[in-house]
Structure 1
Amino acid sequence: MTNITTARLLLGLLCSPLAFAQNAGRELHSYTRHQDTLELRTGDGRYLIKPYSAQVVETTFIPNGEQYDPASHAVVLAPVDVGATLTAGERQISFATPGLSVVVERKPFRISYLYKGKPLVAEKGGYARVDKLESIEFALDGDEALYGAGARAAGMNRRGQRFQLYNRADYGYGKRSMLLNTTMPLALSSKKYALHFDNPQAGWLDFDSRRDGTLRYEAIGGRKTYQVVAGDSWADVMANYTALTGRQPLPPRWAFGNFASRFGYKTEQETRAVVERFAQEKIPLDAVVLDLFWFGKEVKGTMGNLAWDRDSFPNAERMMADFRKRGVKTVLITEPFVLTTSQRWQEAVRRQALATDGAGKPATYDFYFGNTGLVDLYRPEGRDWFWNIYKELKAGGVAGWWGDLGEPEVHPSWVQHGPDGAKRGADQVHNIYGHDWARLIAEGYRKDFPDERPFILMRAGYSGSQRFGMIPWSGDVGRSWGGLQSQVEIALQMGMQGLAYMHSDLGGFAGPMLDDELYVRWLQYGVFQPIFRPHAQSDVAPEPVFRSERAKVLAREAVWLRYAMLPYNYTLAFDNSQTGMPLMRPILFEEDEATAMATTYLWGRDFLVSPVVEPGATRQEVHFPVKDSVWFDFHTGAQHRGGITEVVKPVDAHIPVYVRAGAFVPMAKVVQSTRDYSARQIDLHYYHHPSVAAGEGRMYDDDGETADAYAKGRYEIVRFASRHAAGRLEISLHTETGKAQSPQERGFALKVHNVAARPRAVTVDGRAVRFSWNGRQGMLEVALAPRRQPSAQVVVTL
């Protein structure tokens, strides 16, 4: 970088609102470059500044008297040499990558970050220790919106609030909850950057609660390390952040089906009857989830048994095998608590599998379920003991795991974790306990079942938990309209923070409220959230097969739509595994001005969804993003212009859903379970509009169960493209087949929407073909015969 360029960067920075002085007594004493790391020395310590890429830079402060701690629980990206340049001037130095530049004022000492020449963010107060908390402050622009801090229901733009970083359940919460099960030391800005504070210890993240333009991170101790992540677009920020912390592996395909779940099925007979009822009612089902009664007859006193109660489930293995034959997987709840009254207590003590007290004895304390110990995930004995239980249960036929209470729900500060000589207090590991629990299962599968994709449903996690395949849910939400109203925000925010499978207990969990309208609206929203899993306390049935006839009919239609959309949804999941883009996306990703919008969101790129979250709603405001775009009502075909907000009238049968003009939407035949799913005959919908000159899409397919199928070359991708000009519409298909994949025979029923007049001609690969056109619906249909590695060009003369 030239001195002229550096001067321009500094001039822009000094004219920016970010140009605040840090501690006036601090100054830069010296600097040294060690390959691609810049070391700065001040009077109170030293800084290490290290690029991971041109869009990600890490800064660590090491106070005098402390040692550098290189361990990160979140970061997996290996730093690369990005050709950073160091330029020194009389007043400042610049350490610049092709994207991010770090500018350091010598006196008073100040660190600022620029992205492609534009001021991004700057340290404000530097490092400080106040009231047993260590803090780092950053200066904010006046109109900057902030997101992050984990799972909360606090408003989409979270600026002006202070958030505790301590995972904790909020039983029965509604429209608002300031502290939930997954907190993350991560802030994202409407200026398209992220600040990730790489320290899991308990603390606070202050999003300018004092209204003085300050973002403040506070922790009880640990690393003073943060990463700045930038990008030209939100897609870039998502890609760069998930490259840093890891990408979510593709879940098994059955995870995108319907679940039967409640608190809880108490016997084998009851569980079998529920699965049979779904088949009788022709409501598709892919999994049944067993709560804590699988290992004990009572809620209290048995947690930690982690073995089948043979009185209640005498033939559990045969039951699971019978379910598998029907395409239904079995998921078991597990908890990390081992009660002193459980059958495994003495075994856990003998195997040294439990966290300890100050005297080195198993730590015990009381909570709702009884007097308990806690599995110590930070010593090998605890990990081995816990994983061997999972292995034994899996051998019997268990297909997926539910990790509950993993905050951990009760975790006294005096509890000690880890081997002798390396003990850590509870508050040091509390926020990563669920994260490391998911790691235990994911790594166990990689070691012992390397070809299988695990299903890991967890209530608590941390930055980067997505790389273990964690599927988080939003906790024990109240069965209320307020509970439903908070769910979109929680899911959108968590998707922005890497955990793209955040979802809710459909219908709400807590409380005996019987409200069929609420229940149906929640399930209709659930069609367009990552996991479709009704779950609740059993005083009001959460399964659609036990609801009123009208609610059951509407719920069945929602489930059918969920299954019909499997090709689209599975492709979204694949895209997330490759790029980090969440399945649910805020309008902010397309319109910079939509900083606080969570009432309408995008499902993938091409669906616009507006859940009905008010009882008896007769009107609903829907914002259609992107000026000059066109959106089609998914159910009626009515057109809406982008860049405006309209009032629409909701109907009982579905929530307002729209499709972007130029979109390709592959849909499949509805099946009773994904075991019977086939992508060999697809209804390929294309949403034509004269204003769209070109469109594109794709459909990803594999066997739905092989781990790393894409990397292993065991996949096919069918790519779709459209071109429209001068009364001629061209639609092409092209198939990419992985190196280890046998080409599949596929046929498509092409359905082109919004064709206003009967086409004059339709050809496929240059040959005229028969077609049908429905003038009332404006629908053109063309059959593309099944073939291996399908490739075709359809030309419609309009």
Structure 2
Amino acid sequence: MKSRIFPVRIICAAILVSCANVLPVAGCARPAPPSLSARGEKALLRIEVLDDDLFRFEYAPPPDVRQETIGRTPMIARADFPGPSRLNRPGNGRLETAEGQVGIDRSDLSTRFSMTACGEEPVQHELFSVRLMEMTSEGCVIAIDAPEMTHAWGLGEQFPKPGEANGDWVGRVRMPGCEFGNRMVPYKGGAVGNAMFPVLYMMAADGTTCALFLDDLSALEWDLSTRPWRIKSTGAAVRGYVLLGESLPELRSEYMDLVGRPPVPPKAAFGLWISEYGYEDWAELESKLASLRKSGFPVDGFILDLQWFGGVDPGGEKSRMGRLAWDRKRFPDPRRKIAELRAREGVHIVPIEESYVTRGLPEHKRLASKGYLVRAMDGTPVFIKSWWGHGGMIDWTKPAAGDFWHDWKRKRLIDDGVVGHWTDLGEPEDYAASAVYHGVPGGGGRHRDVHNYYNFAWAESIYRGYLRGGPGKRPFFMSRSGVSGIQRFGAAMWSGDIGSNLPSLAAHFNTQLHMSMSGMDYYGSDLGGFKRTALDGDLNEMYTQWFAAGAMVDVPVRPHTANTSNQYETAPDRVGDSASNLANIRLRYELIPYIYSLAHRAYLHGEAVFPPPVYCFPGDPALRECGDQKMIGDALMTALVAEYGRRTRDVYLPRGRWFDWYSAERIESAGEVVRNVPLYREGRFRLPLFARAGAIVPLMHVDDQTMNTTGRRRDGTRRDELVLRVFESPGSSEFTLYEDDGWSTAYQGGRVRTTLIRQDGDVDGVELVVDGACGDYEDAPVERAVVVKLTTGGRTQCSGVMLHDEPLARHRRLEDLEKSDSGWCQTARCTIVAKTARLPVRRAKRLRFSLTAD
């Protein structure tokens, strides 16, 4: 476990395909890339070589005058490419680079991609072919001939059948949510999102892997039920990129480099946020907070639904939808109250907002006068009648409209102290099919052109607004819909108004698998379900299982339900098994230093934060349809549960040494199922969690005094020690801890601290080295203690622990060690806890554990 990406070598590639609505590449400093072209009866095919492992291609109607280079859509964040280090033109319509080959068959205008596997004798692997089947004014059909591919993942958000947690896309059809694409769709008593993130990763039985990404703003249908696979688009052209790589993590990182990596969310976003539809006033919110504090729950914030701006009136034009200003009768003096909650309780506020503005509001009149509303065919603002009232919608595709709205409305909320935003109904939910928009950059302005771009443009306007504010707060918001690329603006997503039943939760597990592979690291659900009327079993058991799953892999951890009549509870101290909920959220808070470090790696390298196991173990066929087990980084694996009456569950562990997180039991797996792993420990529901040998997991100290993700404590004490959970490996392993101020964008300018932690096992024991910290940030600690909880690989006794060359004192009880400045204690067979005094963080610490068998 020396490196984060384990040494499974596998052949990988990706295609990114774009249909219609493209940005021209203008002002490019580099010369036009090397290319091939061929003309058919209905289309012109062009291929460009952008790098050794990156190709771009296009099927388009033959133009009278074509662009110098192939265009791109707003989905693509990257516009400059270095070109190949080596290029061969062997003839017969082929191009070869150091890593790949592409060729054109002029008889049917198909293009075939292959790659060269490096080794003592390079081997060429045929990957796939792309062929244009149809091209009309109504759209395109392409065929993907990949006969060896047996499994496929990605394609964003579409729920499978209720209860199906596991499964890939082969043999299924990925349908758009509506004729235009993204949409909320009815699902088992609720409604869930259907959002196209059109990246499809494919794998052959022998582990050869490739991926296809349609960077398309049109409605798409992917038919993987027959061969060759067919993809239908309402776009007028097909444009794409082909990426080559040697591992799934490498391939995903290259894809994220093209569409944009996510910024690091505020640290508070990784904690517990309480939400419902909705809190009537500050008093109701504070009553929920007081109850949580009394029960010992850490909490980072509350999320306000539309009651914060006065609610809505479905019957007319005077509804407050679009007011985006506080209802000061029920939420008086918001700036003072938000500051008070932050100062007294360490909690924060996020309000909801929508794109709709009722016609009777002054906001509608002002927006209309500036031309910032979506228009009907006659040029007047489009008029929509809906549950929220009667009015129009902001034209986010017009940058001036988004900038005006942010500076006029949203910035006031930021100045009031809100730390994020909840963008709802962004598919968009309501629209006029004949509406006219400012339009997609370089593309059309019809609704069919804009539908899937609309929410992307909204997200981008928030991001631009934060950038205009200068160095300061990080943009972070929850979005109900999206497309590839939205993550680069600071978006998380949730799965919509999901029904309160376990079959819906199980299907959500499968959707999270595909969203992670599609580049959306921060994805969650309304914990406990939004529609309680869809409950199909015991409420408390359903909520407890759902809350445990969210505490493992959701960002943020956010219970939410429809509760306008105040008949339901959402807070985890009031519904479900409170003791189990408390144990599970405390584990989440303990893991935040580890998860937060993963978030930095997602920002820097495009690595997945909560990937499916196949991402880390692509060579293991048993994991290729696994959706109810999740990785947390590459060191931890959890197994989720969505079934009434379960007391145990089976867990598949890939080949290698694993440790049970709770019991420290060592498991030597040959790639097999561990039967009957307990789900209840000491009477509390706990999801299985396993650590790989060599795992180094930084933790936060959490107890009944912990208030939030910063480690703030109710008794005012400081517990800023660096806690490390270490699982012995026969060899060496390492992990880098990332720390920053948790709120600002200063980390992007280098204001971040990294600490490399290394462990090496040998015949005499284990050596752990905490390197001196590098970098700095505002209010960073200059000294702290280090606490190491070592789980050995089988050696049951520790004869001593040295800090550098000095022995630490042994304590017989953990309680005595906790009261001491330093020392060590053996708390169980194979488990040793060691502690240093407070030492400068820039000084390296070397601890040596001397281990023996019984």
TM-score, structure 1 length as denominator? 0.90
Amino acid at match of 2:199: L
Matched, 1:717 2:746: no
Structure-2 residue corresponding to 1:766: 805
CA shift digits 1:517-543 (9 cap, x unpaired): 111111111121141111111242111
Indicate conservation of the 8 Å contact 1:148/1:187, yes or no.
yes
- Residue of structure 2 aligned with 1:197, choices 207, 214, 222: 214
Structure-2 residue corresponding to 1:567: 593
Indicate conservation of the 8 Å contact 1:352/1:381, yes or no.
no
Once the 2 structures are TM-superposed, how far is the Cα of residue 200 of structure 1 from its aligned partner? 0.8
* 1:420-435 matched pairs, under 5 angstroms: 424-435=445-456
Once the 2 structures are TM-superposed, how far is the Cα of residue 412 of structure 1 from its aligned partner? 2.9
Structure-2 residue corresponding to 1:518: 542
Residues 1:714 and 1:384: Cα distance change in structure 2 (over 3 Å): closer
Divergent runs of 4+, >4 A:
66-69, 171-175, 419-423, 739-743
Matched, 1:396 2:416: yes
CA shift digits 1:725-749 (9 cap, x unpaired): 2223211111341277777323211
Residues 1:419 and 1:522: Cα distance change in structure 2 (over 3 Å): closer
CA shift digits 1:249-295 (9 cap, x unpaired): 10111111110101111112222322333223221111110000111
- Residue of structure 1 aligned with 2:38, choices 33, 36, 41: 41
- Residue of structure 2 aligned with 1:457, choices 465, 478, 495: 478
Structure-2 residue corresponding to 1:23: none
Once the 2 structures are TM-superposed, how far is the Cα of residue 760 of structure 1 from its aligned partner? 2.9
Separation of aligned partners in 1, 2:431 and 2:211: 30
What SS class does the counterpart of residue 229 from structure 1 fall into? strand
Matched, 1:228 2:225: no
- Select the structure with the greater relative contact order (CA < 8 A; seq sep ≥ 6): 2
Once the 2 structures are TM-superposed, how far is the Cα of residue 172 of structure 1 from its aligned partner? 4.8
Structure-1 residue corresponding to 2:626: 597
Once the 2 structures are TM-superposed, how far is the Cα of residue 364 of structure 1 from its aligned partner? 1.1
- Where structure 1 has 5 or more consecutive residues not aligned to the other structure, the ranges are 1-11, 13-32
Amino acid at match of 2:699: M
CA shift digits 1:116-170 (9 cap, x unpaired): 1543543353252269221222102244211122112235311222223411012
Structure-1 residue corresponding to 2:691: 659
Structure-1 residue corresponding to 2:403: 384
Amino acid at match of 2:152: L
- Residue of structure 2 aligned with 1:588, choices 595, 614, 621: 614
Matched, 1:681 2:710: no
Structure-1 residue corresponding to 2:228: 214
Once the 2 structures are TM-superposed, how far is the Cα of residue 174 of structure 1 from its aligned partner? 7.5
Structure-1 residue corresponding to 2:324: 306
* 1:10-25 matched pairs, under 5 angstroms: none
What SS class does the counterpart of residue 532 from structure 2 fall into? coil
Structure-2 residue corresponding to 1:163: 174
Amino acid at match of 1:366: K
* 1:440-519 matched pairs, under 5 angstroms: 440-512=461-533, 513=535, 515-519=539-543
Structure-1 residue corresponding to 2:846: 793
Matched, 1:345 2:364: yes
Matched, 1:540 2:568: yes
Separation of aligned partners in 1, 2:524 and 2:768: 35
Amino acid at match of 2:38: R
* 1:271-286 matched pairs, under 5 angstroms: 271-286=285-300
Residues 1:52 and 1:510: Cα distance change in structure 2 (over 3 Å): farther
Once the 2 structures are TM-superposed, how far is the Cα of residue 446 of structure 1 from its aligned partner? 1.1
What SS class does the counterpart of residue 565 from structure 1 fall into? helix
- Higher mean displacement: 647-656 or 104-113: 104-113
Indicate conservation of the 8 Å contact 2:711/2:719, yes or no.
no
CA shift digits 1:571-607 (9 cap, x unpaired): 1111111221221111212143122111212111111
Structure-2 residue corresponding to 1:85: 87
Matched, 1:76 2:82: no
Matched, 1:576 2:602: yes
- Residue of structure 2 aligned with 1:247, choices 251, 261, 266: 261
- Higher mean displacement: 194-203 or 560-569: 194-203
* 1:366-377 matched pairs, under 5 angstroms: 366-377=385-396
Once the 2 structures are TM-superposed, how far is the Cα of residue 35 of structure 1 from its aligned partner? 4.3
Separation of aligned partners in 2, 1:250 and 1:381: 27
Separation of aligned partners in 1, 2:828 and 2:303: 45
Separation of aligned partners in 1, 2:336 and 2:508: 38
Amino acid at match of 1:756: R
What SS class does the counterpart of residue 395 from structure 2 fall into? coil
What SS class does the counterpart of residue 528 from structure 2 fall into? coil
Matched, 1:105 2:105: yes
Structure-2 residue corresponding to 1:747: 785
Matched, 1:114 2:114: yes
- Where structure 2 has 5 or more consecutive residues not aligned to the other structure, the ranges are 1-10, 12-29, 117-122, 161-165, 713-717, 811-823
Indicate conservation of the 8 Å contact 2:298/2:708, yes or no.
yes
Indicate conservation of the 8 Å contact 2:403/2:464, yes or no.
no
Once the 2 structures are TM-superposed, how far is the Cα of residue 423 of structure 1 from its aligned partner? 5.7
Identity %: 24
Residues 1:118 and 1:786: Cα distance change in structure 2 (over 3 Å): farther
Amino acid at match of 1:391: K
Structure-2 residue corresponding to 1:123: 129
Separation of aligned partners in 1, 2:612 and 2:219: 29
Once the 2 structures are TM-superposed, how far is the Cα of residue 173 of structure 1 from its aligned partner? 4.3
Indicate conservation of the 8 Å contact 1:36/1:84, yes or no.
no
Indicate conservation of the 8 Å contact 1:192/1:231, yes or no.
no
What SS class does the counterpart of residue 319 from structure 1 fall into? helix
- Higher mean displacement: 387-396 or 355-364: 387-396
Aligned residues: 754
Separation of aligned partners in 2, 1:95 and 1:630: 45
Once the 2 structures are TM-superposed, how far is the Cα of residue 403 of structure 1 from its aligned partner? 0.1
Indicate conservation of the 8 Å contact 2:129/2:146, yes or no.
no
- Residue of structure 2 aligned with 1:260, choices 245, 257, 274: 274
CA shift digits 1:461-483 (9 cap, x unpaired): 11111111111111111110112
What SS class does the counterpart of residue 772 from structure 2 fall into? strand
Once the 2 structures are TM-superposed, how far is the Cα of residue 171 of structure 1 from its aligned partner? 4.4
What SS class does the counterpart of residue 490 from structure 1 fall into? helix
Separation of aligned partners in 2, 1:102 and 1:791: 51
Residues 1:403 and 1:297: Cα distance change in structure 2 (over 3 Å): closer
Indicate conservation of the 8 Å contact 1:712/1:740, yes or no.
no
What SS class does the counterpart of residue 230 from structure 1 fall into? strand
TM-score, structure 2 length as denominator? 0.84
Amino acid at match of 1:157: D
Separation of aligned partners in 1, 2:726 and 2:776: 29
Matched, 1:734 2:740: no
What SS class does the counterpart of residue 595 from structure 2 fall into? helix
Amino acid at match of 1:721: R
Structure-1 residue corresponding to 2:195: 182
CA RMSD of aligned residues (A): 2.6
Once the 2 structures are TM-superposed, how far is the Cα of residue 342 of structure 1 from its aligned partner? 4.0
Structure-2 residue corresponding to 1:3: none
Separation of aligned partners in 2, 1:131 and 1:46: 15
What SS class does the counterpart of residue 255 from structure 2 fall into? helix
Separation of aligned partners in 2, 1:323 and 1:523: 25
Separation of aligned partners in 1, 2:228 and 2:298: 51
What SS class does the counterpart of residue 168 from structure 2 fall into? coil
Residues 1:329 and 1:374: Cα distance change in structure 2 (over 3 Å): same
Separation of aligned partners in 2, 1:615 and 1:264: 28
Structure-2 residue corresponding to 1:414: 434
Structure-2 residue corresponding to 1:8: none
Indicate conservation of the 8 Å contact 1:181/1:459, yes or no.
no
Amino acid at match of 1:217: I
Amino acid at match of 1:568: Y
Structure-1 residue corresponding to 2:354: 335
Amino acid at match of 1:269: A
Indicate conservation of the 8 Å contact 1:120/1:193, yes or no.
no
Structure-2 residue corresponding to 1:21: none
What SS class does the counterpart of residue 244 from structure 1 fall into? helix
CA shift digits 1:746-771 (9 cap, x unpaired): 32111111363332332221222224
Indicate conservation of the 8 Å contact 1:664/1:698, yes or no.
no
